[in-house]
Structure 1
Amino acid sequence: MSDSNTLKSQYSAQVEADIERNAKEQERVAAELAALQEQLQTLDHDRTLLVGMREALSGQGTAAAEEAPASPTTAPPVELPKARRPKGEGAAPKQRAKKAAGKKDTAKKAPTVAQPRTPGTPTLREIVLNLITTSTEPRSAAEVTKTLAETHPERKAGGTVVRNTLESLVARGQAERTKQNKSVFYTALPDPATAEDAADKKDASANA
């Protein structure tokens, strides 16, 4: 019994010593882990600042992957900056051709506007009024546009511009609009001052 109690006491003492040693080892590892964790957070913070500086210097936006929070135990991999590709280089040939075709179509569909006149030359309204005044019959907007292109090639004006000019003459009382079937024709009206002078001359002749 005495030997048994002695052996039991020895085992108990050994277990107590192991437990104490294990507790101290846990404290040491926990302290090292806390220090490493703090160091990891510091490195991660520094890395975030460096990445921001890199993006600011390269003129690129911050990538989403760079903003992802780092793992508490593993530092995220450093992503090397990508070489900047010239604008449009990455587009497929078909896409570039499609864009070019779209630009051409847009240019073709752009409405023709009246070219600015040179100082000292008659206005577009004056030219159009003269064309319908010298005509012996009513003229449509298309006919006036064609005649304008033949007689004044330097004044490039499309059908819409010419039609708007004719309508402005109608609004000013210098032209008259008539409709035949589905077509619209324009005829110049005599100038009120000219008509009054002609009437005065006619009355003078009659009185004489």
Structure 2
Amino acid sequence: MNNADSASQSVQTMYAERFATDLTDNRAEQKELAAQIERLRARLDQLRADETWLTGMQAALPGETAPPRPRRAPRTGAKPAGGDAPAGTPVPGPRPAGRAKARPSRARTSPKKAAPTATPPLHQLIRALMPLGEPRLVREVHADLAQAHPERGTSVQVVRNTLETLVKRGVVGKGIQKGTAMYTATASVASECDEAPVAG
């Protein structure tokens, strides 16, 4: 009975430590995401302020008020029936200028969003750091990833989730040693890349 009680306590201790670690990682990732959201909100406010300023500056230029008029003409096509509408046409001129300016601002921001997609997916980076047949702890893989790719800034929980995805694909094997999950690469990086298009 004493052996059974001690074994039960050791299992409870192991799960308590694991849950505490997962909870800490979860909260850390929440803080990272919250900080990213704040930075994005600040950037959006700055872009909106810049758009307002640029719109005002563009409207103040005499040469820039003429091009928007042809765009406005189809919308006011029903009003020229009176024939005296030309007096009101200079007023709506700056308004299309603001709308026309908003479109280029989106076009400028889109390349910035598309640039990060050029980096390899996280699962490829993690898989490249795992030698074949060598069991690794999640924290070991996370430490190697942080050292090799500090710009990614991923948490231990994200690395664990990615490894579990690789286990489902059959690229990485999972085993339990002394109550701790160990992950072992079972396929080469080249074979994984060959299978990737099929899965997609």
Please state which band the TM-score falls in when normalised by the shorter chain.
Answer: 0.3 to 0.5
Larger Cα Rg: Structure 1 or Structure 2?
A: 1
As a proportion of its length, which structure holds more helix? 2
Q: TM-score, normalised by structure 1?
A: 0.36
Larger RCO (CA within 8 A; separation ≥ 6): 2
Q: TM-score, normalised by structure 2?
A: 0.38
